[in-house]
Amino acid sequence: MGVRVKLRHDKHMALYRHIAEEFRTRIAKGELPPGTRLPTVRALAREVGTTRLTVHNAYRELQSDGLIESVVGRGTFVSPQARPAVPLSFGERLEPDSVLSDLHRLQHARVLHNLALATADPALFPYAAFWACLDSLKPLAQEVFGYGSLMGEPELRVAISELLEQRGIGADPKEVLVTVGGLQGLALVCRALAEPGEEVLLEEPTYLGLLGILKQFRLKPLPVPLNPEGPRLEVLEALLKRHRPRFYYTIPSYHNPTGLRFQEGRLQGLLELARTYGFTLVEDDTLGLLSYEKTPPTPLLALAQRMGLEAQVVHLASLSKVLMPGLRIGYLVAAPALLERFLPLHNVSDITGPPPLLQRATARFIRQGGLKQHLKQVLPLYQKRRDTLLQSLRRYMPKGVEWSHPEGGFSCWVSLPRLFSNLELHHQALAQGVAITPGEAFLVQTDETMHFRLCFGAQSAEGLEEGVKELAKLIRARVAQEPA
């Protein structure tokens, strides 16, 4: 079906601008996605009842804005670079699933400074090297386009085992389960270790994806507050004495959303509590390799193995942040007794995990040194962006605003007095072309302090500084309105 044009005539605006504005609005709303074929000049002139020159002028204006492009012999199309603006419905609710949906939509929206997404920069993905690994699998086409192994491709599980060994974790390939991204692994753990209505421990704030899964499976979160060293163990022990939680979810290495790196002594205390009270620790190590100032931290599972507590730790991770999210490759490591509980659920939800082709190519990429080389190239760039973000916060933010100092990962946690109502700053920032993630979405319980997350991985240094500058203007303006 062709593109229909409805015009609202305004005698103060030239007709060609009416036409251009109609298309501009529909592109911004996402009604005309990139690649949509537009009517020919002759057809649109006939439909609107105007001259071909008027339509030519409208198309010329849209083309100068980068919204459409003409291909000789084929026609006129919405440009691949055209992205919808942030829709008016964006950011209306704070529930984790709603915020996650908004974050996914932001990837395809025209936002001047997108500081909301904790993602790697697609411009830095190792496309050529990975493509070579795909090409090398052509002789095995019959294998890689069929169904794969239930646990994941053996070649990939060996590569992951070797990668873990470099982090101090001893994991036999048969203890590695490949999942469709990190979220599937987390969902498997929640379903296997807890029943609806039961309680689980988590850090406050915590990963948005976990809160969405807990809501889906009707599990009750028990929040444990953080300080700069890690979870507050005295609060955790008090909760353990009053409740019988099924497990504790933790992100000790470059915590999302705060960026904190938990101190090793705090993690050892956490393991001692697990020994005393007999609960399972679920470690999310997705960001552990994104280290900017030191060697990557020792994973919780590695510490547990030293203490003889490996049976009480499930280690989860994903390659989405350190390599490419489109691979959809995650994995979990667990003792055989726990794996036996995960496998039936995994086989029901997704028989073979990510496509065998991508699993095999990823295995070759890792074992040939591709991941190591990729991290060597990108870590200095991400560190520079992190530094720019922190420098901009120091330069522009008013007194009373505080923030974390992430040593790795992609997230910085900003806190300030509650000067704005829920989502007010979020919406004001979007109106200025700046996207942030509202902090309340990461919390089980809100308090008198307001928070938001800023992400620096996929933004240029210039974009980070301008985004912080615009945010600081909004906050300073509100501070000036407060009574002395």
Closest CA to 417 of 335, 483, 319: 483
**Among the CATH numbers 3.30.450.20, 3.40.630.30, 3.90.1150.10, 3.30.559.10, which is that of 96-124+373-481?**
3.90.1150.10
Instruction: Indicate the fold that domain 15-78 takes in CATH.
Output: Arc Repressor Mutant, subunit A (1.10.10)
Q: What CA–CA distance (Å, rounded) separates 179 from 134?
A: 20
Identify the DSSP state of 174: G
pLDDT at 1: 39
Q: Which pTM does this prediction carry?
A: 0.81
pLDDT tens, 454-463?
999 999 898 8
pLDDT tens, 13-70?
678 877 887 887 677 666 788 889 999 989 888 888 889 899 898 898 888 878 889 8
Total length of the chain: 484
226 has which bridge partners?
A: 231
Out of 239-253, 390-404, 432-446, pick the least confident.
432-446
Instruction: Indicate the fold that domain 127-370 takes in CATH.
Output: Aspartate Aminotransferase; domain 2 (3.40.640)
DSSP 51-90: -HHHHHHHHHHHHHTTSEEEETTTEEEE-TT--PBPPTTT
User: Which residues in 131-147 are b (16+ Cβ under 10 Å) and which e?
Assistant: eebbeebeeeeeebeee
Closest CA to 347 of 148, 174, 159: 148
**Is 5's pLDDT higher than 70?**
no
139-157 average pLDDT score: 92
Q: How confident is the model at residue 86 (pLDDT cuts 50, 70, 90)?
A: low
What are the residue boundaries of the structural domains of the chain, listed by start?
15-78, 96-124+373-481, 127-370
352-372 average pLDDT score: 94
Amino acid at 338: L
Q: What CA–CA distance (Å, rounded) separates 124 from 302?
A: 30
Contacts of 438 (CB under 8 A, 6+ apart): 91, 94, 99, 422, 423, 425, 426, 451, 452
**Is 301's pLDDT higher than 90?**
yes
354-368 average pLDDT score: 96
Q: How confident is the model at residue 112 (pLDDT cuts 50, 70, 90)?
A: low
DSSP 282-302: EEE-TTTT-BSSSSPPPPHHH
83-112 average pLDDT score: 62
Contacts within 8 Å (CB) and 24+ apart, 130-136: 130/324, 130/361, 130/365, 130/370, 133/361, 133/362, 133/364, 133/365, 133/368, 133/370, 134/357, 134/361, 136/361, 136/364
Identify the DSSP state of 261: B
pLDDT at 88: 44
**Is 8's pLDDT higher than 60?**
no
pLDDT at 87: 53
pLDDT tens, 164-219?
999 999 999 999 999 999 999 999 999 999 999 999 999 999 999 999 999 999 99
